[in-house]
Amino acid sequence: MNTKILTIALPVIAALALGVGLTAAAPAEAVSDSPCEFRFHLGGAYLKDGAVLGGGYVDCKTAGSTPVQFKTLLELRHKAKGSGWATRTVAESEQIPGPVLNIATWAPCEPGGWEIRVTMWDTRRYTPEGAEKTKKYSDTSASMITNC
DSSP per position, 75-120: EEEEE-TTS--EEEEEEEE-PPPSSEEEEEEEEE--SEEEEEEEEE
Rounded CA-CA distance 133/56 in Å is 25
Judge whether 87 lies within some domain: yes
Judge whether 88 lies within some domain: yes
Taking only the tens of pLDDT, the chain with its 148 residues reads 444 333 333 333 333 333 333 323 233 233 334 578 899 999 999 999 999 999 999 988 765 667 888 999 999 999 999 999 999 999 999 998 888 899 999 999 999 999 999 999 988 876 667 777 888 889 999 999 999 8
> How many domains does the chain fold into?
1
Model-wide pTM > 0.75: no
pLDDT score of 63 = 57
Rounded CA-CA distance 126/115 in Å is 34
Q: Is the separation of the CB atoms in 144 and 110 below 8 Å?
A: no
Q: Is the separation of the CB atoms in 58 and 97 below 8 Å?
A: yes
Q: Which domain holds residue 49?
A: 30-146
Rounded CA-CA distance 36/119 in Å is 12
Query: pLDDT tens across 4-47, in order?
Result: 333 333 333 333 333 333 323 233 233 334 578 899 999 999 99
pLDDT score of 133 = 82
Judge whether 22 lies within some domain: no
Judge whether 76 lies within some domain: yes
Judge whether 69 lies within some domain: yes
**Coil, helix or strand for 111?**
coil
Judge whether 2 lies within some domain: no
pLDDT score of 12 = 35
Judge whether 106 lies within some domain: yes
